[in-house]
Amino acid sequence: MKEFEKVIYLNPSSVSACLELAAIHENEGDFVKARRMREAALGVMESLPKDETVTPYEGTTAAELASHVRNMLD
């Protein structure tokens, strides 16, 4: 978990780090922190061009991944 927190500190626009940390928090039962991390990732994805692929999710556009995260937040 510390590694992902460090990545986010150094690069707050790291979608993958936010989503990985969200999954860790969710697995630990901290749903509030998990939601915050997903919302942070969503904010970054919404600022990207819709057709831009998101690293490391090659083949998945920012719009597709944002839609998936929105569904998780509902």
Q: Which residues contact 46 (CB under 8 A, 6 or more apart)?
A: 62, 66
Q: What is the pLDDT of residues 9-42, one digit of tens each?
A: 999 999 999 999 999 999 999 999 999 999 999 9
pLDDT value at position 65?
A: 96
CB 48 within 8 A of CB 68: no
pLDDT value at position 1?
A: 83
pTM: 0.91
Whether the pLDDT of residue 58 is over 90: the answer is no
Ordered structural domains, the chain, with CATH: 2-73 (1.25.40)
DSSP-H helix ranges across 1-74: 2-10, 15-27, 31-47, 62-73
